[in-house]
């Protein structure tokens, strides 16, 4: 089985059911750290609107909703991660539409790195919240730096029995990134000026990331065999700039957008 490491999404479905207990879910051992982050986030929400806007990067009704949710996270209603996260990556992964066998594979294989929870599985309970991994919280400092040693202690070696596909953006990789001879990192490139390339960003990069995760879940077998076959809306595998994971080190899979 291939472990797939994904970011969360800024967009989240509202509402929920069972109250959030930080020690719940597959990675409940992160409970004490989650409580620290939730407490620091609650303190930050007691500041003025300008400070909240700067921290969360939103305004208007979105800021109001986020401030209310962030102020009282412990005990807040939860949804499973695959229902809560409603951004571009997760909408294109579209777990709900997977066939039953592949859906169970996704539940078992996907890890989501979260600024609030550290790491969650798709079926783990997640409250409504808003926090970026690149944020800095009062009394806690940079969130990615806080999570770094916690995630290393809890996740290093997680994918030892199989392969790992790393789909983390730089912001989340600053907190934790899988490493090892069975890890394949992914880069998405798009054409730049005068035949150059630049790292893809924005909606297009998020969409293809979700589609690649879905493809790997639907395509059993070794990554070195599966990844070259992925195409979507003109995105193709770039063998010249890719390298397969081996005993000598981790691998890199590069995909290129159409010109």
For residue 211, give both structure tokens: 């589609």
What is the pLDDT at residue 248?
Answer: 80
The 10s digit of each residue's pLDDT in 92-148 is 999 999 999 999 999 999 999 999 999 999 999 999 999 999 999 999 999 999 999
* Ranges of residues in the chain whose predicted pLDDT is under 50: none
The secondary structure of 175-215 as a DSSP string is: T----STTEEEEEEEEE-GGG-EEE--HHHHHHHHHHHHHH
What is the pLDDT at residue 48?
Answer: 86
What is the pLDDT at residue 227?
Answer: 97
Closest by CA position to 11, among listed 73, 69, 89, 71 = 89
Question: What gap in Å lies between CA 31 and CA 191, rounded to an integer?
Answer: 43
């Amino acid at each position: 089985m291939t472990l797939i490491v994904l970011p969360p999404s800024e967009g989240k479905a509202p509402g929920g059911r069972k109250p959030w207990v930080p020690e719940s879910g597959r990675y409940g051992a992160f409970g004490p750290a989650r409580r620290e982050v939730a407490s620091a986030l609650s303190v930050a929400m007691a500041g003025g609107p300008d400070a909240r806007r700067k921290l969360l990067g939103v305004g208007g009704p979105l800021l109001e909703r986020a401030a209310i949710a962030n102020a009282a996270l412990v005990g807040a209603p939860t949804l499973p991660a695959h229902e809560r996260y409603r951004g571009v990556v997760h909408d294109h992964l579209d777990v709900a539409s997977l066939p039953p066998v592949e859906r169970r594979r996704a539940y078992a294989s996907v890890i989501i790195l979260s600024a609030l929870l550290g790491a969650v599985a798709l079926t783990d309970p997640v409250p409504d919240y808003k926090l970026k991994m690149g944020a800095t919280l009062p009394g806690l400092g940079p969130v990615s730096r806080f999570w770094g040693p916690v995630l290393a202690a809890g996740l290093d070696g997680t994918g030892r029995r199989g392969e790992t596909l790393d789909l983390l953006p730089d912001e989340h990789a600053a907190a934790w990134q899988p490493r090892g001879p069975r890890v394949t990192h992914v880069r998405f490139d798009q054409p730049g000026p005068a035949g150059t390339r630049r790292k893809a960003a924005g909606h297009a990069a998020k969409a293809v990331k979700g589609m690649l995760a879905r493809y790997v879940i639907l395509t059993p077998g070794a990554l070195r065999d599966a990844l070259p076959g992925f195409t979507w809306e003109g995105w193709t595998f770039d063998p010249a700039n890719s390298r397969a994971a081996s005993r000598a080190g981790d691998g890199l899979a590069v995909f290129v957008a159409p010109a």
